[in-house]
Structure 1
Amino acid sequence: MPFDHYGVLVGTLYRHYRDEPDDQGRWFHVNLEVDAPLGRYHCAVDVDSHKSNVGVRWKSFTVDARALGPVAGFGAGYHELDSTAFSGALDYLRHPELVDHAGVLFERRPPSWLRELLELLGSRPWEAGSNVDAAAALEAVLVPGQRVLVYGEPFTDDPEGDLGMHNVHQNQGDPVGSQWWPENGIWQDGATLARRDDGRYDVFLNRFSSQAATTDPDGHPV
């Protein structure tokens, strides 16, 4: 079933850092520490290696604040969002500012000449590369002290009671038989956004290569 809790954390970025590399098969993250009224939140953003069986893909671009709907006016703190098109929730495949009608034709990075043409058409193709490439793309939009929005699932069962956000990635389209199939759902995707000085927001989206780019009303792949 979809998440019981989904929402957006609004706060001020304190710092960010990468997981230490290891050989234990643990997934690689860029970790954000975000200050909000209840305290400092730990937000884990998946930037897993493209070499793994479920490598990550990403894209980054800029949108006007109005594209975020009511979320643009939220104060600092965690805000629960209904998984609907009007709550401020995100859906990579349905939100008018996130969907990429031309880019879905390409599962890998297109050649440079084609990228230029797609950009003229408003397309935002997915990038593919190593975990270092993905981490660098996210870090490029992060500046300590700036306002950030982190969409995903809040920690609810942390044994130490720490504040945080996880599932900061696409949360639909996982294949039949995967451990994440039951969590598929629409309008519950995670993302990382950072406010620019001009009031617009830099957006970083990330999804696993095993996740479908087309889903049914339950978020399952089609």
Structure 2
Amino acid sequence: MPFARYGVLAGTLHGYHRDQPDSQGRWFHVNLDVDAPAGRYHCAVDVDSHKSNVGVQWKAFTLDAASLGPAAALAPGYHDLARTPDSGALDYLRHPALVDHSGVLFRRRPPDWLQDLLGLFGSRPWHAGSNVDAAAALEEILEAGRRILVFGEPFDDDPEGDLGMHNVHQNQGDPTGSQWWAENGIWQDGATVTQRTDGRYDVFLNKFSSQADRTDAAG
């Protein structure tokens, strides 16, 4: 079953920090503090287990507001999104501004010069590396005071009643039998998006090496 709720938090980035070794638990996150009318939200961006060297994949690129869709115009605050192409929801495998076409031509990651050339044609290959590599790539688009959009699942069951977002990563393609398989769904992927001074948006997408890059209508 897909998530009970999926949406986007629009707000202002107050700051961020990485999980510390004595408090991170099993999974490693970059934690975002986002100010919105209801208060300060804690958004946990999962960049994989600290035990894995190749378990996380990511890409970062820039879009204009029109390419991002309705979410770019949302007022500050949390907004539920319908899992449809025209709601502002994201889908790594279906959204026209997010889809990567390089896999049609290359089985391996192309060299950097060729990635630049592919970028001119809308192709954005995935990078692979450690959790530290992924965290550093995300932090390049994080600047306090920027407008930020965090796509994912809101915390509904926090014992302390804190505001927050999690599942800020691809949320489809998990293999049958895994603990996440039941949550697979289309048009419910997470992402971190920050607005530049020129009005365009820097986008950070992240997924895990175990997740498929093709899914059916059920994700």
TM-score tier after normalising by the smaller chain length: over 0.9
Equivalent position of 1:121 in the other structure: 121
TM-score by length of 1: 0.93
Give the C-alpha shift of residue 114 in structure 1: 3.0
Residues 97 and 159 of structure 1, relative CA distance in 2, 3 Å threshold: same
**Structure 1 SS opposite 2:117:** helix
2:31 is the alignment partner of 1:47: no
Give the C-alpha shift of residue 25 in structure 1: 6.0
Equivalent position of 2:27 in the other structure: 27
Residues 201 and 144 of structure 1, relative CA distance in 2, 3 Å threshold: same
Percentage of matched positions with identical amino acids: 75
Give the C-alpha shift of residue 34 in structure 1: 0.2
Task: Note the 1:44-193 alignment, pairs <5 A.
Answer: 44-49=44-49, 52=52, 55-103=55-103, 109-193=109-193
What is the one-letter code of the residue matched to 2:191? A
For residues 23 and 187 of structure 2, the distance between their equivalents in structure 1, rounded to whole angstroms, comes to 34
Residues 103 and 197 of structure 1, relative CA distance in 2, 3 Å threshold: farther
Q: Is 2:53–2:130's contact at 8 Å kept on the other side of the alignment? A: no
What is the one-letter code of the residue matched to 2:72? A
What is the one-letter code of the residue matched to 1:18? R
2:211 is the alignment partner of 1:211: yes
For structure 1, which segment, 108-117 or 127-136, has the greater mean C-alpha deviation from structure 2 after superposition?
108-117
Residues 157 and 170 of structure 1, relative CA distance in 2, 3 Å threshold: same
Q: How many residue pairs get matched?
A: 219
Give the C-alpha shift of residue 24 in structure 1: 8.2
For residues 24 and 38 of structure 1, the distance between their equivalents in structure 2, rounded to whole angstroms, comes to 26
Unaligned runs of 5+ in 1: none
What is the one-letter code of the residue matched to 1:40? R
Give the C-alpha shift of residue 142 in structure 1: 0.6
Q: Is 1:13–1:35's contact at 8 Å kept on the other side of the alignment? A: yes
TM-score by length of 2: 0.94
